Each structure stands twice: as structure tokens, then as C-alpha cells.
Chain A
Amino acid sequence: MGLNVAAATDASIQGSFGTTRLDFVVDLIKKYGINWSRKNSLWPMPFATACCGIEFMAAAASRYDIARFGSEACRFSPRQSDLLIVAGRVAVKMLPVLQRIYVQMTEPKWVVAMGACASTGGVFDTYAVIQGFDQFLPVDVYIPGCPPRPETVHEAIMAIQRVVREDGVKSSKERGRGLQLRIEPPQMMPGGSQLREGSLGERASGPVI
């Protein structure tokens, strides 16, 4: 699609990929035109199952105002929204419902796991609570907290906005084969051999908790 594929896969150009002028313009239009309008009008679908739902309401209300992100139109219909915010624990009975709601949403769509329970199951490690619904649904942003402060929810909205602008989180290959380590590994400490690269020394097995 215009990408200089040969350059991208050429091992000699380590960590870079070539772009053409057309790519540049298309990227510009996408990032600052289409994605700009998408990210500034993310209409959430609040899938509030528990206490985090209340905190989401607080984040949406006037003091912490989610309207400044363009998100005050909380459509409770999956067909009319683009951001699914799962706020609260997802029970075993509720997960198929959640999956059905996600599938009914129209593209483009993003998912936020709000709170500890949606991300990992939280304090409820029982037979009836899904320990992180990301096992069964794709998630873009996780919000830690129990419940997260409204400011944290807004930080997550901003993170989703970055994700939307960049068309998702790029893999390290797309970003240029990951980071190049340009710093020296630490020098060996006098009298110690544990920090030698690639060996753990006598601490190969850590403490067993």
C-alpha cells in the first residue's frame, strides 16, 4: 500500500522503514483529519456492572466533566457508540452478554477495562467472577483502581485518544524493530559476579513465596 516493503524487511537498515511522500500525506490526513475527529468524539457505551459504574458517572458529571473530551453522549446502545467501557466486575453469567454487546458494536470500536475487577477480577477471586474479561474480549486500555479516581478515568480517555490517533498500538516491528540499547550495561561491581550479563550467579532460583 505504498509502503516501501523492501526497505522495511531489509536487514541492513536496522530499525527503520522507508516511506514515500504519498504515505506521508495519507498519514497526515488520517491522523489529523479522520482520527482527530474520531478521537474527539468518542461516544462511550458504559457497561457498568458494579461500583465503577458510579465512579464513571462521577467522571462524566459536571465536576470532572467528560464532555470536554467530546464523550458526554453516553449511548447505551452498542450500535450508536464506539467506546465500550466495562466498569465493574464481570460475572460468569454476564460475560456472554458482554461479548454479544461487543460484537454488536460497529467498527471502529475500542474497549476500556475500568477498575481492578474488569482488568483482573479484583478482590473477587471466586467461581463466579471472570478474572479479567480480557481473556475473552480484546481490550485497549486498562484503568487500575478500586474504583479509579475520575481523573484516572480521564487519563484513560486520553490514552484511548492516543490509541485512536495512532490507529492502535503499533507492534515493535512497525515501530522499527524495538528499542536499540544505546547505553552500556553496568560495569561489574568489585568482588561480585552476579551482574554479569546473562548469568544470575548463585541467585538462579529466587525465594519461593
Chain B
Amino acid sequence: MATADAIAALQERFPELNLEAQPLMPARNGEASDQLWLRIPADRLLEVAQFARDDPRTKFEQLCDLAGIDYLNFPDAEDRFAVVYSLLSLTHNHRLWLKVFVNDPDPQVPSVTGIWRGAEWPEREVLDLFGIRFPGHPDPRRLFLPEVFQDHPLRKDYPLHGKGERTSFEVVRRDSV
């Protein structure tokens, strides 16, 4: 599988990171999964991403998705948050996932907008909903929620009904101007 070549290239270039590919989901039907992820420390992310995009053996030109995960109350979790990068190579037709784990307080992951421009809005979404900051982002503001919103709602400790933000508005009556 071509992904194995890409992983081998990454392991050769970054031996000190001890990269070990794990499947995203447990294998079914005895087949090995071809959806593999690598754990990358946050401070090395930019180098790894640059290499992944540019090296001819990996050539991950497209960042398909960028998402945040909150592992609160997850049984095997060691860290609170993760940011997942879903990479696709159009030349070699293989995919790879990178996960960067971060913790409270002040979780930060360097922004990859300099490498893949399409990361701009997904990183804003993660900032808006999880509170993970991306230093180096060209436009770090909330994407969905109003600017005055205080919390980060997709964290698992945020109540579904909110904390009163949906009821604190001015009442316009029939005789108001």
C-alpha cells in the first residue's frame, strides 16, 4: 500500500518522533485497515506537515479536513484535546491522518494555513467550538457563533441548552419604536 511508503518516508525523516502508524478503527474481516494515523507532537507539527506536503514520496497536497476532538471522560484518554488532520495525496492516491494532542489550560497548535490554505476556516471552527488556539493563523476569530459568545460549546462539559445566551436579548414590543 502506498500509505506504507509515505509512513516509511516520514519515519526516515523524523526518527526521533518514533512514529507508529495505528489504524483509525479496529480491523474488520481480518483485513488490515488502510486508514492509519500518526501521533505528532505540537511543536514539530509544522515541519512534519511541510515534509508531508512537499516530499515526492508522500506528496500530500490536499488537506481534506481538520477537526477537533474532546476526550473528556473517554476511558483510555491521556490528553484532553486532539486536532486531527486528514491528508490526501492526489498523485499517489493515498491518505493519512495526523493527530496532535493538546491539553488545558490554553491548548495551542501551530496553524498550518501557511502549508495548506484550506485550513483557515476549519481552524477557526475548532477555535470557536473547542477553544484551541492556532498561533500563526491569519484571521483568528470565531466562525459560527457571535463574537460576544464567551464559551466553547462543543466541549463535553458545556451544557446542551447553553448558559443563558439564548434568552438574554432585548424584548421588542408592539409599541416599541
Tell me the bound Cα distance from A129 to B161 in angstroms. Answer: 9
Whether the Cβ atoms of A136 and B170 lie closer than 8 Å is yes
Whether the Cβ atoms of A125 and B146 lie closer than 8 Å is no
Whether the Cβ atoms of B172 and A102 lie closer than 8 Å is yes
Tell me the bound Cα distance from A95 to B159 in angstroms. Answer: 21
Whether the Cβ atoms of A93 and B145 lie closer than 8 Å is yes
Whether the Cβ atoms of B169 and A138 lie closer than 8 Å is no
Residues of A within 8 A of B166 (CB): 92, 127-131
Whether the Cβ atoms of B170 and A138 lie closer than 8 Å is no
Tell me the bound Cα distance from A128 to B153 in angstroms. Answer: 9
Whether the Cβ atoms of A138 and B160 lie closer than 8 Å is no
Instruction: Tell me if A's interface is mostly helix, strand, loop or mixed.
Output: loop
Q: Is B174 in contact with chain A by the CB < 8 A criterion? A: yes
Q: Which residue of A lies closest to B174 (CB)?
A: A138
Q: Which residue of A lies closest to B164 (CB)?
A: A127
Instruction: Tell me if B's interface is mostly helix, strand, loop or mixed.
Output: loop
Tell me the bound Cα distance from A96 to B172 in angstroms. Answer: 10
Range of interface residues on chain B? 20 to 34
Q: Is B162 in contact with chain A by the CB < 8 A criterion? A: yes
Contact with B along A61-103 (1 / 0, CB 8 A): 0000000000000000000000000000000110110010011
Residues of A within 8 A of B29 (CB): none
Residues of B within 8 A of A99 (CB): 169-170, 172
The count of residues in chain A whose C-beta lies closer than 8 Å to any C-beta of chain B is 18
Whether the Cβ atoms of A92 and B172 lie closer than 8 Å is no
Other-chain residue from B145, B159, B163 in contact with A128 (beta carbon distance below 8 A): B145
Whether the Cβ atoms of B172 and A135 lie closer than 8 Å is no
Q: Is B1 in contact with chain A by the CB < 8 A criterion? A: no
Contact with A along B142-154 (1 / 0, CB 8 A): 0011100100010
Q: Is A51 in contact with chain B by the CB < 8 A criterion? A: no
Residues of A within 8 A of B153 (CB): 127-128
Apart from A95-B169, A103-B177, A128-B153, what 10 extra A-B contacts exist at CB < 8 Å? A92-B146, A96-B169, A99-B169, A99-B172, A102-B172, A127-B166, A128-B166, A131-B166, A135-B167, A136-B169
Pull 20 A–B residue pairs with CB atoms less than 8 Å apart, ordered by A. A92-B145, A92-B146, A93-B146, A99-B170, A103-B176, A125-B161, A126-B162, A127-B160, A127-B161, A127-B163, A127-B165, A127-B166, A128-B144, A128-B153, A129-B166, A130-B166, A131-B166, A136-B169, A138-B173, A138-B174
